[in-house]
Amino acid sequence: MSVMNAPGSAPARSAGRPPSMGGNFSTWANRHRKWLFAAPAMIFVGVLIVFPLAWTLYLSLTDSQGSVRAKTDFIGLENYLTVLTDTERFWPAVGRTLSFTGVALVCEVVLGMGIALLLWRPFRGEKWVRVAILLPLVATPVAVGMMWRLIFDPNIGFANQLLGMVGIPPQPWLSGQDTALGTTIFMDVWQWTPMVVLILLAGLTSLSDEPDEAARVDGANSFQRFFLITLPLMMPTVVVAILLRGIDALKTFDILYATKGKGGGSFHEVETLNVYAYGLSFDYNQYGLSSAVLILFFMIIIGSMWLLTMRKKAVSK
Amino acid sequence: MTVTTPSQTSAAAPQVIRRRRKPLPTRLYKVFRVVALIVVVLFLVAPLFWMLLASFKTNVDIYDTAKALIFSPTGENYANVLQRNNYFIFIFNSFWVAFVSTALSIVLGVPAAYAMSRFTMHRSALVVLMARVIPGVSLLVPWYYVFSNLRMVGKFEVLILSHMFVALPLIVYIMMSYFDSLPLELEESAQVDGLTPIGAFRLITLPLAVSGIATAGILSFIFSWNNFMFALVLSGSNTKTLPVAIFDFVSYASIDWGGLMAAATVVTIPIMIIALFTQKYIVSGLTAGATKG
């Protein structure tokens, strides 16, 4: 994220102190404007984050269940032990979360780079393609999930009708043990590849032409120029795209809930950590256990973000 | 970014001419590109088109393969959604929650982003941006506990508060990179001319930042409109937003596909219309800060 190394804009404290207006408060406000401006937002977010996180941490050490108001006992790390030794639901959920994120990210970045390169140079009808790219991005994820649920319906869905035309037997898509995760990844790719395209396109347009031109003069063909010049120069932007997209992909909930929840059968085939924790909390009221899952999930997210920022720093150097 | 070094200034003139180069020469590539672009556009638009078509079909027609594209359209589903299920209330709820949470987030977020950009408060900014990283579920249990004890679950205030949690970090993130790109000199000279620092912010910087604020506001409205998880837990029957209301068409036994697709279309259309009219803002918001490396 750009916050970490945005161009340093030094404060203009040296500008001559203006003649005071409106008495003491104004002077005080001007002198302390740094925190006066920043504090309200920070306090708002801080209260809504720090307190719940602390509570989640506390809950994860208790046997809280049944009702949020029920009495609880402190049981130490027992929940963590239960969760970490749970090979039936927790570890598969970890695996699904990571493979969902990993596969979706790879597809989105590769496709996104391809599409961004297609759009790089001006062409006729550019406007229409841009509109098409924006549509999935702004579409409501739950509605998108419902839309795919119709298209991938085993009996009436368009996907199977299409397969039928070329003589392939119908697939269970969202209800199949092996196909469900892949199908939801496909949905994620449909909705969020455009985001990667926009970011990479912005990166491409801000590239300087000189290195590419020089390579062209030296007789490099377009593949060589892409892999040896453009791609390395684009790496920082690619990492930003992966970072932004990765955080959201790890937390994916809407599409999974829309396609599987309430009447769509069990979540079992697509149960990621987010869905697992949500179910534990709000369907089974196992607050202690779900808090432990969430703390571990949070650690996974922070860990992967940290790895990526390290990588980003290495790339920028 | 805005500081122009002498070498950049001298290179500026030829850059204008060089910015967009001649397209790649080969005919083959041109053909390939047209085909590829058509495939991309079809891939992105066709599913939405399918949803739109289904929303005008009767449930019998949806089951009929022969009537995939040719059928007699009916407005029955929309009548069902809007009148009998009273979606106008949900549309209002969604709009109200998105609008108020965006407005309040702008009031809190813009000055914060300004201070964070001018005084390079990167660690403070991280606190706000943490909200983007934390999975919403981990906040929902404690929120639910507190708000149900206060008997506030199902009230607009709580929903707006939770949606501000989505909107505020977004606005701070976008506005920080916007303020980073605004020249400091204007403010400085205004201060030399006798304005207080806050006066300079209010009279000089803020008017310059209007298009940035529009970008941040539109994007935050869209994300708030689309948000699902918070409303799923924290809304009541009176404050239900559109994404949650969609599930009224799904029961454990069967799905009213026509109604469901009409409901999905009703949620998506307003936000798409807004997006089409404000395209350039959305794109600049989504790519804010992404290319600075």
CA distance linking residue B74 with residue B258, whole number of Å: 10
Q: What is the pLDDT, as a whole number, of residue A28?
A: 82
What average pLDDT score do residues A239-254 get? 90
CA distance linking residue A244 with residue A2, whole number of Å: 11
Q: What is the pLDDT, as a whole number, of residue A264?
A: 55
CA distance linking residue B23 with residue B195, whole number of Å: 51
Range with the poorest average pLDDT among A19-23, A288-292, B132-136, B209-213 = A19-23
Residues 170-189 of B with CB under 8 A from A: 172-173, 176-177, 180, 184, 187-188
Q: Are the beta carbons of A140 and B138 separated by less than 8 Å?
A: no
Tokens of B144: 């639910």
Q: Which amino acid is at B81?
A: V
State pTM to two decimals. Answer: 0.87
| pLDDT confidence bin for B7, thresholds 50/70/90 | very low
CA distance linking residue B19 with residue A15, whole number of Å: 38
Is the Cβ–Cβ distance between A21 and B196 less than 8 Å? yes
Q: What is the pLDDT, as a whole number, of residue B110?
A: 95
Task: Name the 3-class secondary structure at B250.
Answer: strand
Strand ranges for A167-292 from DSSP E: none
- For the segment A90-101, what is each residue's pLDDT rounded down to a tens digit? 999 999 999 999
pLDDT, averaged across chain B: 85
Is residue A165 over pLDDT 90? no
Q: What is the pLDDT, as a whole number, of residue A26?
A: 81
- Looking at the complex, report in whole angstroms how far the Cα of residue B21 sits from the nearest Cα belonging to chain A: 7
Is residue A8 over pLDDT 60? no
Is residue A171 over pLDDT 90? no
CA distance linking residue A270 with residue B23, whole number of Å: 44
- Looking at the complex, report in whole angstroms how far the Cα of residue B144 sits from the nearest Cα belonging to chain A: 8
Q: What is the ipTM of this complex?
A: 0.85
Q: Are the beta carbons of A42 and B128 separated by less than 8 Å?
A: yes
- Alpha-carbon Rg for chain B, nearest whole angstrom, is 24
Using alpha carbons, select from B167, B41, B125, B293 the residue that is nearest to residue A241. Answer: B293
| Residue B17 contacts A, CB cutoff 8 Å | no
CA distance linking residue A278 with residue A101, whole number of Å: 18
Quote the Cα angle for B148-B151-B154, to 5°: 80
Is residue A51 over pLDDT 90? no
Is residue B6 over pLDDT 50? no
- Looking at chain A, the whole-number percentage of residues with pLDDT higher than 90 is 36
- Looking at the complex, report in whole angstroms how far the Cα of residue A141 sits from the nearest Cα belonging to chain B: 7
Residues of B in contact with A238 (CB under 8 A): none
| Residue B222 contacts A, CB cutoff 8 Å | yes
Is residue B5 over pLDDT 80? no
Place of tokens 């001298």: B10
Residue scoring higher pLDDT (B50 or A122): B50
- Looking at the complex, report in whole angstroms how far the Cα of residue B111 sits from the nearest Cα belonging to chain A: 5
Q: What are the phi and psi torsion angles at B151 (to 5°)?
A: 55, 45
CA distance linking residue A47 with residue B164, whole number of Å: 13
Range with the poorest average pLDDT among A54-58, A261-265, B159-163 = A261-265
Is the Cβ–Cβ distance between A274 and B228 less than 8 Å? no
Is residue A292 over pLDDT 90? yes
The residue of chain B with its CA nearest to that of A138 is B272
Is residue B245 over pLDDT 70? yes
Q: What are the phi and psi torsion angles at B261 (to 5°)?
A: -70, -35
Out of A52, A147, A199, closest to residue B51 by CB: A147
Q: Are the beta carbons of A133 and B44 separated by less than 8 Å?
A: yes
| pLDDT confidence bin for B48, thresholds 50/70/90 | very high
| Residue B292 contacts A, CB cutoff 8 Å | yes
Q: Are the beta carbons of A146 and B260 separated by less than 8 Å?
A: yes
Residues of A in contact with B191 (CB under 8 A): 12, 15-16, 18
CA distance linking residue A209 with residue A225, whole number of Å: 11
Is residue A255 over pLDDT 70? yes
Task: List own/partner pairs for A75-82 with CB under 8 A and 24 or more apart.
Answer: A75/A288, A79/A288, A79/A289, A79/A291, A79/A292, A80/A292, A80/A296, A82/A289, A82/A292
Q: What is the pLDDT, as a whole number, of residue A215?
A: 87
Q: Are the beta carbons of B139 and A49 separated by less than 8 Å?
A: yes
Q: What is the pLDDT, as a whole number, of residue A61?
A: 92
Residues 226-285 of A with CB under 8 A from B: 236-237, 240-241, 244, 247, 250-251, 253-254, 257-258, 261-264, 273-274, 277-278, 281-282
Residue scoring higher pLDDT (A61 or B125): A61
Q: Which amino acid is at B57?
A: K
Q: What is the pLDDT, as a whole number, of residue A22?
A: 54
Out of B41, B135, B293, closest to residue A237 by CB: B293
Is the Cβ–Cβ distance between A143 and B267 less than 8 Å? yes
| Residue A154 contacts B, CB cutoff 8 Å | no
Q: Are the beta carbons of B180 and A9 separated by less than 8 Å?
A: yes
CA distance linking residue A117 with residue A64, whole number of Å: 53
Q: What is the pLDDT, as a whole number, of residue A113?
A: 96
Is the Cβ–Cβ distance between B107 and A24 less than 8 Å? no
Is the Cβ–Cβ distance between B92 and B266 less than 8 Å? no
- Looking at the complex, report in whole angstroms how far the Cα of residue B272 sits from the nearest Cα belonging to chain A: 6
Chain-centroid distance, C-alpha B246: 19
Q: How many Cα atoms within 13 Å fall on the side-chain side of residue B111?
A: 20
What average pLDDT score do residues A301-310 get? 83
In DSSP notation, A264-287 reads: S--SGGG--HHHHHHIIIIIS--H
